[in-house]
Amino acid sequence: MSDGYSPDATEEQKAVAQDLLDKIVDKNEKDTVIYSRYSETSDRYDMVMVVGNYNGPKETAAVVAEYFPRDRENVRLLDVAAGTGLCAVELRKYGFLKMDALDASPGMLEEAKAKGLYDQYIIDILGENTLDISTDTYDAVVMCGFSTEILQRLPMTAFEELIRIVKPGGYFINTGRKTMYTHDDGKAEQLKRQLKTLEANGKWKRVQMKHFKNYLKGADGAVSVHVIRK
């Protein structure tokens, strides 16, 4: 039976990958500790994602391209939880060029900056705070691989803030593990309730939920798409 890792990975690479993944998905740690761990391991992150068969960025970029079939070089995107820029790499293959990065981990953004993928590199968190970004700035917010542990405990205001910075008719496109939307534990229920409440309040409307195989280490993934209504 496959362990979900790349068949080309050595046992040493698998061990390094598992150690890093264990650190950044620790349910018992505060958000600030997890963000720090991303920075501490940023120089190994890309290797670990290759070893773990991480297909989230490819699936995300393909869906974003569906919603922007033309004039992609002028579409303005914010990549939230941009990390080392893996999603931007895939988005550029479809012709998206105007992208900003937002991440709470300085170390991860330094890795992305070295690749020259974004126009702006914004170090900030999602929470009760207001982002230093003007209203109606982006055509879409893209989020791929945001820590599930952190995402599931974000306050409603965090999602409202993302809605604020996207133009009416734009999109919020989020990719993660399928279980993020299907598990019945309390944290998943809170996330699903918040997403539905925002729809009930006319803030956005879900227009797609795409399930796919092999998100990370063989686990199923999902891409959700919400159109911004306000």
* pLDDT (tens digit per residue) in 111-126: 999 999 999 999 999 9
pLDDT in tens, 162-208: 999 999 999 999 999 998 887 655 667 888 899 999 999 999 999 99
pTM as predicted = 0.92
Beta-strand ranges (E) seen in 64-202 are 76-80, 98-103, 120-123, 138-144, 166-177
Q: Report the pLDDT value the prediction gives residue 156, as an integer from 0 to 100.
A: 94
- Residues of the chain with pLDDT below 50 are 1
- Give pLDDT, residue 5: 86
Rounded percentage of the chain residues whose pLDDT exceeds 90 = 73
CA distances from 77 to 41, 70, 130, 164 (A): 26, 14, 18, 14
